[in-house]
Structure 1
Amino acid sequence: MGDMWVFAVESGHVPGMDLTGYSVHATDGTVGSVDRQSEGSPFEHLVVDTGMWVFGKSLVIPAGLVTSIDPAARVIRVACTKSTVKGAPVFERDHDTRDPVYLGGLSTYYSSLVTTS
């Protein structure tokens, strides 16, 4: 895996691409849909609305975990399991996505669990 906080070239991401509403699929099923995204910052990521799957919470997925984007199907695939995403540090407020401590915790968490195969 390359830089966890940057969309990989092979993911199919194009700068400026609006991913809002795209379905996010882990290696073992659907995680939720993109509520909003951050790109062009040092910490590019997706904020994913999990619906009732994780008790209505939103989760942050670093852009580097995106393995593919299918604009026709509006599907994003990520290089981790649903349980990996569910166990990530809790996202509570927008400020978290600019907090170096929170983002560092996400980096440590995903780096220790995610493998690409």
Structure 2
Amino acid sequence: MAENVWSYGQAFGHLVGTDLTGWRVEATDGHIGKVDKHSDEVGDAYLVVDTGVWIFGKEVLLPAGAVTRIDLEGHVVHIDLTKEQIKNAPEFHSDKHLADQRYREEIAVHYRTGGPFGGGPAVV
């Protein structure tokens, strides 16, 4: 797992520059949505995932460090998070949050304490 949550770290199959827009996103316990936007920027890599009707159209910002594997042939991004962790994540609004450093810190804390970066129960 990546030390920096905003880095892909050792994600198997990740190729910098690959356009992940529209790719399926799979949590450890099933499908959660599709990639709406993404960034490969060093130290600031992320996925914006549209969860569709699963949680009423909510978009979530996922640090790239949550990505464990990218299936280039199947166009699937696998993450080390559960559906429940995604459901409990703070909602993302790109016009409001994309450049907001405090929001990024909130996201990092959420996933460090409730996700693959800390392993404890989610803080919501």
TM-score, structure 2 normalization: 0.87
Query: Residue in 1 aligned with 2:26?
Result: 25
> In terms of mean alpha carbon deviation, does 84-93 or 63-72 score higher?
84-93
Q: Is the 8 A contact 2:45 2:63 kept in 1?
A: yes
Residue in structure 1 matched with residue 122 of structure 2 by the alignment: none
Distance between the aligned counterparts of 1:42 and 1:95, measured in 2? 21
Q: Cα RMSD (Å) of the superposition?
A: 1.7
Specify every segment of 5 or more residues in structure 1 that has no aligned partner in the other structure, as ranges: none
In structure 2, how many angstroms separate the alpha carbons of the residues matched to 1:21 and 1:90? Answer: 19
Alpha-carbon distance, 1:41 to partner: 5.0
**In the TM superposition, what is the alpha-carbon distance from 1:72 to its structure 2 partner?**
0.7
What SS does the corresponding residue of 1:9 show, helix, strand or coil?
coil
The 5-angstrom pairing of residues 27-106 of structure 1 reads: 27-40=28-41, 42-106=43-107
Q: Aligned partners of 2:95 and 2:45: how far apart in 1? A: 14
Q: Residue 16 of structure 2 corresponds to which residue in structure 1?
A: 15
- How far is the alpha carbon of 1:62 from its aligned partner? 0.7
* Corresponding residue pairs, total: 117
Identity %: 39
